[in-house]
Amino acid sequence: MAKATLTDIAKRANVSKTTVSMVLNNKEINVSEATREKILQISNELNYIPNTVARSLSTKKTETLGVILPDIENPFFSEMVKAIEDTAEKLNYNVILCNSYNSTKKEEKYIKLLISKLVDGVIFISGGNSEKNLNILDDNKIPFVIVDRYIESSKKYSGIFCSNKEGIEIGIKYLYDKGKRNIAFVKGPSRLKISELRLKAYENITKKLGIYNEALIFEDEFTIDGGIMSTEKILDTGIKIDAIFYSSDVMALGGMKFLLRNGYKIPRDISVLGYDNINISMFLEPELSTVAQPIYTMGQEACKLLVDIINGKVKEHKVIFLKPELIERDTVR
């Protein structure tokens, strides 16, 4: 059976092709409600799917947004994508999701794919040194918004971020006020600017409080395995650790698993503090204390900002900083 066309619907409904097009595209047209319903019903019966590429050539829009993120397995990003999709749907946009697995090569491949698909804009969460890939978007005049992870660049870009400096300070002060002095810090991979920003904040606040110890700084990936391996290294130092502050909740999950399997009681033996406040952190036993980023709001605001840029409502580069907050649960005492 041949693919249904506007002409097929028009013949069945006994109206013009233009009328069908206007109704299906929800445009203002002077037709009765009965005719409108009839056109929609016939369109459904024929399983009609509009040629969005053809339409986009005339409207210059596809109502489609691309989202590039580094790791969909990390609940932080999957929760953010949910917010982006929810918001995009309310704004009548569709979403194409691209998972780079922290590979700048994959990022580049996906960016070129999204440009070829004529997306209206891109929400970009970096997996590494991504300046070159942002330049590809910029050179092709594709509006985009960076979320969560800073990217070193000579150019100015719009973005939605949560203050890393404030988040780390909140966490360290909280642990310090609980009497912790030997606080191990697990930062993310050095290739990410966000890891270095959080490390700098840790160094500043611990020096200010007089508890800085370079031997207590560790680095690994923002993964469960990263949390396991870094925790093993921490324990191998032989230093009496009061608390471990992980740069992500996913790391903290791995760290807790390693500690518990090696006979440590949390928080009696070692306190654990995460970063992000992903949903699963409240369902663990013990429930994870963490520095919360407003994940849903970040995704929501990124989508709104991108659509405003696409529609010309935001002319200048705009950067929005959101505030972190401490969530006290059961892994710190």
Average pLDDT over every residue of 33-45: 91
Query: Between residues 203 and 116, which one has the greater pLDDT?
Result: 203
**What rounded mean pLDDT belongs to the chain?**
92
121-124 and 94-99 strand pairing: unpaired
Tokens of 175: 């642990």
Average pLDDT over every residue of 197-212: 97
User: CA-based Rg of the chain, rounded to a whole angstrom?
Assistant: 25
Average pLDDT over every residue of 288-310: 97
pLDDT, residue 208, reads: 97
CB of 81 closer than 8 Å to CB of 299: yes
- Residues contacting 302, CB < 8 A, separation 6+: 84, 123, 145, 147, 160
DSSP structure string for 51-92: -HHHHHHHHS---EEEEEES-TTSHHHHHHHHHHHHHHHHTT
Reported as a pLDDT band with limits 50, 70 and 90, residue 22 is: confident
Report pLDDT digits (tens) over 177-189.
999 999 999 999 9
- Domain range annotation of the chain: 6-50, 62-162+295-324, 164-293
- Residues contacting 268, CB < 8 A, separation 6+: 333
Of the candidates 203, 193, 103, the residue with the CA atom closest to the CA atom of residue 148: 193
3-class DSSP assignment, residue 182: coil
pLDDT, residue 155, reads: 75
Domains 6-50 and 62-162+295-324 alike in fold: no
| Strand order across the beta sheet in which 243-246 lies | 217-219, 183-187, 243-246, 271-276, 289-292, 325-327
Can you list the pairs that 234-241 forms with residues at least 24 positions away whose Cβ atoms lie under 8 Å?
A: 234/184, 234/186, 235/262, 239/182, 239/184, 239/215, 240/182, 241/182, 241/183, 241/184, 241/216, 241/270
pLDDT, residue 130, reads: 78
Q: Does domain 6-50 have CATH number 2.40.420.20?
A: no
pLDDT, residue 54, reads: 57
CB of 130 closer than 8 Å to CB of 104: yes
CA angle 124, 127, 130 (to 5 degrees): 70
289-292 and 325-327 strand pairing: antiparallel
Question: Per-residue pLDDT for 197 more than 80?
Answer: yes
- C-alpha distances (whole Å) from 148 to each of 48, 160, 190, 316, 320 are 39, 6, 16, 20, 11
Question: Per-residue pLDDT for 304 more than 80?
Answer: yes
Question: Per-residue pLDDT for 24 more than 60?
Answer: yes
Tokens of 200: 């700098």
pLDDT, residue 107, reads: 93
Average pLDDT over every residue of 94-100: 96
Out of 3.60.20.30, 3.30.70.2170, 3.40.50.720, 3.40.50.2300, the CATH code matching 62-162+295-324 is 3.40.50.2300
Report pLDDT digits (tens) over 103-160.
989 999 999 999 998 899 999 998 777 788 899 999 999 999 999 987 766 678 999 9
Residue with tokens 């969909």: 72
Question: Per-residue pLDDT for 4 more than 90?
Answer: no
Ramachandran quadrant class, 63 (left: phi over 0; alpha: psi -120 to 50; beta: rest): left
Question: Per-residue pLDDT for 204 more than 80?
Answer: yes
CA distance 318 to 321: 10
Report pLDDT digits (tens) over 228-245.
999 999 999 999 999 999
**Any idea which of 251-255, 296-300, 315-319 has the lowest mean pLDDT?**
315-319
pLDDT, residue 186, reads: 98
Question: Per-residue pLDDT for 57 more than 80?
Answer: no
Q: What is the pTM of this model?
A: 0.83
**Any idea which of 151-165, 172-186, 276-290 has the lowest mean pLDDT?**
151-165
Of the candidates 250, 254, 258, the residue with the CA atom closest to the CA atom of residue 281: 250
Helix axes of 75-90 and 295-310: crossing angle, nearest 10 degrees: 40
Tokens of 139: 């050179």
Fold held by 164-293: Rossmann fold (3.40.50)
